[in-house]
Amino acid sequence: MFVQTLLTGLAIGGIYALMAVGYSLVFSILNFSNFAYGSIIMLAAYISYFAMTKLGAPISLAVILSILGAAALCFLNERLAYSPLRKRRASSLFFMISAMGTAIFLENLVYAVVGAHFYAFPAVFTRTNLSFFGASIAVLDLFAIIFSAITIFALHMFLQKSRTGIAIRAASYDIQVCSLNGVNNGALIGLVFGLAGGLAGVSGTFLGMKYIVYPTMGWITNKAYIAAVIGGLGSLPGAVVGGILLGVLETFVSAYVSSVIRDVFSFSLLVLLLMVMPTGLFGRFLEEKV
Amino acid sequence: MYQYITGVISLGLIYVIATVGLSVFTGYTGLFSLGHAAFFAIGAYTAAILTYFYGFNFYLALALGAAAGGLVGFLIGWPTLKAKLRTDYFAIATLGFGEAIRVLLENLPITQGARGLPGIRGETTLPVLVVAAALTIWLAWNLIHSRHGRASIAIREDFVAAEMMGVNVFMGRLRSLTFSAASAGLAGGLFAHYFCFIQPSMFTSYMSTQMTAAVVAGGMGSISGPVIATLIFIGIPEALRVANIWRLVAYGLLLVLIMIYRPQGLMGYRELSLDMIRGWYRRVLKGGKP
Amino acid sequence: MSPTMEGTLHSDHVLELRRVTKRFGGITACKDITFDLAKGRIMGLIGPNGAGKTTAFNLITGVYGVTEGSIALEGQAITGQRPDRIVRKGVARTFQNIRLFRNLSVLENVVIALDCHETYLLPASFLRLPSVRRREKALREEAMRFLEAVGLEDKAAARADSMPYGLQRKLEIARALALKPRLLLLDEPAAGMNPEESLDLARLVRKIHDDFKLTTLLIEHHMDVVMSLCERIFVMNFGEKLAEGTPEQIQQDPDVLKAYLGEGFKRAQHI
């Protein structure tokens, strides 16, 4: 039971980690929570679902389309809904409202246009479960863990080694100094959103495959915010650790205590952490932009 | 027909009461409550349980419903506001709170869970609503135009500067939250005795969203603005028979557009006044600025 | 309208800093800062950017907590107290990048400052009792008087951010005065001003000091403002004290010249 719960927790933790990293990328640069990120994840799931069912694409192509599509949408979101505010130096309150508006708009647009049906992904793996130390793990989950790990590693390499990646890391410390050093801030921010969108493409697809696809599935991104706080706001490695930790803890609570209070547990954990240890495990607590 | 119109007006007034309270919190103090429907639900259930199971007087039950809402708002607010959560994380915490209340309502024996409470006495009439709305607006107006209200406004404008002006930011926020929770509780009690049936699924994030949208669209820093916006939001879809879903798509888009093109909303930082109406009248009649 | 200081004076010094140190993780922003500011005096706090001057202000006003050391206002310790409490005890501060309530009117900005010492209760606010109405009227009148003191009375209804920069600065100062402080902290009040504006501002600070006998601590980079206004100057560099003395002493101090004023400064003074 213990190993089983742990494995299930790791699987969902991997997905949380992906979402948390995407969220933290934007957060660390702009110091704001992109509440519309969840709807991008949701759209990514729809993209890969329809790619597979309507276009008959294999899973690999579906994921690629999803990554590209989500990256484009996330980039557009920034350009249309946030950059006018950024140019005006609006306070964080306005960004939040704009993000919320975008989320509401996208979710309900999908409801209205596509419908409220729940869509289940076609089965991808022929063998559904593998045995592992007396517990079974879904092949899908194992695949999700491995793929998440690869994606995060690739991102890590990009941020550490490439010039653009270094620019992004510099921007997360002080974006104004960056532009003084010749970095084109607007382009950089667009790129970061694109990256976050790409990550959403992966996490959205896996979420859709693991569970089901429906318009409000983006609300699971709340877990990403919690994971980011656990790991430490502003820290990307923290987001990964936070995501995995949250996934595991949640699953244990769900299995050993009660599944009904799972979400209440997570939110309570969030509030408790913010009160007691706001910097989380690795983070620098970022002051709100007034 | 008359019945129908009074129905729409009644529903509008119920929401006006809750929205005016929320405008004190979001519009004047600058914090988001994404789970505000929870206070509405608390007021509804408290008042309904008191009249249905214990035969309380309607007006007393309403008052206690409002008090219950206010008390819970105070209790939730104390730790979360003390922790000085940033605006976005405070909003996420309110989401969690809304979720916790929903779980509670679905699982307590006295609320009869997801089945809900039918057969509540229908004591909410139009005159009662008009008086209640007028009372709430009067109290809110007095609060805003006092030193306590100014403290809230200062907090919204720049909480760092507000502190430097001797404003106790924590107390100011807590005051606003308590007032807005109490008015939501009052609206909830009226709601329960209007529809005569309540269940947890009626108090969703859709309700919280609509209220927040009305505050933003009406104008943060105005009371008449959100009142007008609420009446429009309730009235127009009824008049046009537009389906619920598209209404939400419109809210989302509206929020983003307002943030970009007219962040001060309909009324901006002002109230509807006789001078304003005279000004429009002159402009329309004379076809130019007075 | 001068700040009243009857009875409870424990010390001649309005402000006392003793070995105040502030560390942010690995960075020491302030180290062992010690100085006194006597009642009614104007003192300048100067030094290169990053020397820790604004940090010192933030420590005095309670925005940051001290890592070590103590701060006393008129003999009473204020170390570690909440900023709004410290403001109510009598410390007013202006900001380097003006922090007015931009969407509010000029008058409202001052009224909010006056609210600081108002005491009518919340239930009275809700019911708008006659006493509240009287107090509100009185507050507005008093706010107008403060605006008149700085020459902004005809802008009372204008939005705070609709005014030119120089007037916004004046409003910030009017707001600080409306707090009826015993200690006024001015953070680069002449920032972004040309020589005439700086002179005008220096005259305003001098007038305020003379009229209200207000103890003032001033951070400034415009040396002409500092040297003409301040009776004593405290120089900081890299978070530590570099020198302290009268303007004449500071202008001769070789360490100060080297670190901050520049050798040319001494020569320029003789032109």
* Total count of domains within chain C: 2
Residues of A in contact with B93 (CB under 8 A): 267, 270-271, 274
Q: What is the pLDDT along chain B (290 residues), one digit of tens a residue?
A: 778 888 888 999 999 999 999 999 988 888 888 889 999 999 999 999 999 888 888 899 999 999 999 999 999 889 888 877 777 788 888 888 888 888 888 888 777 777 788 888 888 788 999 999 999 999 999 999 999 999 999 998 888 899 999 999 999 999 999 999 999 999 999 999 998 888 888 887 778 888 888 898 888 888 888 999 998 888 777 666 656 678 788 888 988 998 888 888 887 777 766 667 776 677 777 654 44
Instruction: Count how many Cα atoms sit within 13 Å of the Cα of residue A183 in the half-sphere of its side chain.
Output: 24
Cα–Cα distance, A289 to A287 (Å, whole number):
6
Q: List the single range of A274-278, C166-170, C219-223 with lowest mean pLDDT.
A: A274-278
CB B38 within 8 A of CB B22: no
A271 CA to chain B: closest CA distance, Å? 6
List the strands of the sheet with C13-24, edge to edge: C27-38, C13-24, C68-73, C76-77
Q: Which residue of C has its CA nearest to B165?
A: C113
Q: Is A99 helix (H, G, I), strand (E, B) or coil?
A: helix
Domain CATH for C188: 3.40.50.300
**Same-domain check for residues C54 and C156:** no
Put simply, whether B86 touches A (Cβ < 8 Å) is yes
Highest averaged pLDDT of the listed ranges A138-142, A179-183, B165-169: B165-169
Report which secondary-structure segment, H or E, holds A87.
helix A83-87
Separation of alpha carbons A17 and A145, rounded Å: 10
Asked if C73 and C105 sit in the same domain, the reply is no
Domain coverage including residue C62: 11-90+181-271
Sign of CA dihedral B176, B182, B187, B191: positive
B146 min Cα distance to partner chain C (Å): 6
| Domain identity same for C148 and C49 | no
- The confidence score (pLDDT) of residue B46 equals 93
Residue that finishes a domain, picked among C122, C154, C178: C178
User: Which subunits sit against A, judged by 3+ Cβ pairs under 8 A?
Assistant: B
B150 touches chain C (CB under 8 A): yes
Element (H, E) at B104: helix B87-107
Whether C173 is covered by a domain: the verdict is yes
Same domain, C153 and C39: no
Q: Are residues C79 and C186 in the same domain?
A: yes
Q: How far apart are CA B179 and CA B183, in angstroms?
A: 6
**Under 8 Å between Cβ of C13 and C37:** yes
Q: Is the pLDDT of residue A287 over 60?
A: no
Q: What own/partner pairs with CB < 8 Å and gap ≥ 24 does B46-53 have? A: B46/B185, B46/B189, B47/B188, B47/B189, B47/B192, B47/B193, B48/B117, B48/B120, B48/B189, B48/B192, B48/B193, B48/B198, B49/B110, B49/B111, B49/B117, B51/B120, B51/B121, B51/B123, B51/B193, B52/B117, B52/B119, B52/B120, B52/B121, B53/B110
pLDDT of residue C90: 92
CB contact under 8 A, B154 and C112: yes
Cross-chain residue pair B248–A94, CB shorter than 8 Å:
no
> Cα torsion for B194, B198, B204, B210, to the nearest 10°?
0
Whether residue C56 sits in one domain with residue C123: no
Q: How would you write C170-198 as a 3-class SS string?
A: HHHHHHHHHCCCCEEEEECCCCCCCHHHH
With respect to residue C63, please indicate whether it lies within any of the assigned structural domains: yes
Name the token pair of B152.
């809230």
Out of B153, B166, B221, name the one closest to residue C84 (CB).
B166
C116 is a domain residue: yes
- Give the residue with greater pLDDT, B84 vs C98: C98
Kindly state whether residues C267 and C150 are assigned to the same domain. no
Residue C95 lies in a domain: no
Domains (range + CATH), chain B = 2-286 (1.10.3470)
**Is C154 part of any domain?**
yes
How far is A159 from A154, CA to CA, in rounded Å? 9
Tell if the CB–CB gap between C132 and B153 is shorter than 8 Å.
no
Q: Are residues C16 and C74 in the same domain?
A: yes
Position A263 scores a pLDDT of 80
C25 CA to centre of own chain: 27
Chain A nearest-CA distance from B242, in A, is 12
Cβ neighbors of B166 (< 8 A, separation 6 or more) are: C84, C87, C88, C113, C115, C116, C117, C179
- Which residue in chain A has the smallest CA separation from B210? A104
- Does residue C202 sit in the same domain as residue C72? yes
- Residues C186 and C236 placed together within one structural domain of the fold: yes
What chain B residue is nearest to C88 in terms of C-alpha separation? B166
Window 116-155 of B, Cβ < 8 Å to A: none
